[in-house]
Amino acid sequence: MRATYHKYILNFKRPSGTSRGILKTKETWFIILQNNDKIGIGECGLLRTLSIDDRPDYEAKLKWVCNNIHLGVDRLLVEVFDFPSIQFGLEQAFLSLVSQTPFHLFPSEFTAGKKSIPINGLIWMGDKAFMKTQIKEKLASGFTCIKMKIGAIDFDTELTLLKAIRKEFSAKEIELRVDANGAFNPNDALEKLKKLSVLEIHSIEQPIQQGQLQEMANLCDKTPLPIALDEELIGVFSVTKKQEILQTIQPQYIILKPSLVGGYKGSEEWIAIANQQNCNWWITSALESNVGLNAIAQWTFTLQNKMPQGLGTGGLYTNNIEAPLEIFKGNLQYNNLKKWKFNL
């Protein structure tokens, strides 16, 4: 068996705002396995400034993995335990290698085009006019769950935007989620949560920065609306530490990005612990190309979580890998009339 890796730069259709600045491009890496006439493809979805494996030796580790591919997937996953995006790329590549086609990792009613996955419509940070335009577009295209990133402009303006949605659509018609990306100060976070709760917000992701376990635990205890941990899960490798975090904070939800928390295996460890604590969860992509999004979506469908998932990032790029994935009326579906075009 032979393994190679390839860097690929994704270009955003329009600059996308996050609490960490404006994104114009997104770097990603592919691991390609070849065994006789079989090919396996996996995406290592590195997210600069957020991934725990955003390290100077990232490419060197990918090279080592490809040079030692004979060790097999189980041994390699242990060797790259602190490189979660490479773990996920390896899981995909080995699964892809033994699949009927490189992109049918989990055959199901989803890949057969018979069922779809409900997803949230993502509203990127920006000025008031830009965010308002995005909201109108999502509602017009049939989304019933909207996730709005907050924390980049002033809180009162963001609150006004959310009030405008609620004035037009009740909580039964539109589910509103917000993602603060750790932007709130622990000193006034609870007051902001109270203002948001009046608008019947479904949940807020990561209101304060990760690593403040006691402050987050206090918030989860007193909060008037459900809190979802996101960044808090990044860089936590041992099951014991995962248990400690969830037992200490006792969040209402956790959000799992396989590229950031160790692929399928790392995500399933979090899910098992969350289920023990009656903590709900959902799955989110992390700006991968359609290759990684496909791998996440097919696996997500097998979990049978009925909540809207965070899998709506496939249409962000001008040069994405062409795939059968498409969004229709707030659902991600697999259109088998479309073909994969994977040419690096």
CB-CB contact of 305 with 297 (8 Å): no
The 121-123 sheet, strands edge to edge: 121-123, 145-149, 175-179, 203-205, 227-229, 253-256, 280-283
- Cα dihedral 79→83→84→88 (10° resolution): -70
CB-CB contact of 314 with 320 (8 Å): yes
Active site residue 257: yes
**What residues contact 56, with CB distance under 8 A and at least 6 apart?**
none
Q: Which of 26, 138, 147, 257 is catalytic?
A: 257
Report CA-CA distances (Å) from 95 to 32, 38, 146, 240, 272: 12, 12, 32, 28, 22
Which uninterrupted H or E stretch holds 5?
strand 2-18
A 10 A CB-CB count for 144 gives 18
- Which pair of tokens denotes residue 321? 């890998």
Q: Which of 61, 138, 149, 192 is catalytic?
A: 149
CB-CB contact of 145 with 308 (8 Å): yes
Q: From its phi and psi, is residue 67 left (phi > 0), alpha (psi between -120 and 50) or beta?
A: alpha
- Which pair of tokens denotes residue 36? 């006789």
Residues 318 and 313: their CA atoms lie apart, in Å, by: 12
- Residues β-bridged to residue 4: 32
Q: From its phi and psi, is residue 193 left (phi > 0), alpha (psi between -120 and 50) or beta?
A: alpha
Residue type, 27: E
Question: Which residue, among 5, 23, 7, has the nearest Cα to 15 in the 3D structure?
Answer: 23
Question: Which residue, among 9, 121, 43, has the nearest Cα to 296 in the 3D structure?
Answer: 43
Active site residue 138: no
Q: Which residues are catalytic?
A: 149, 257
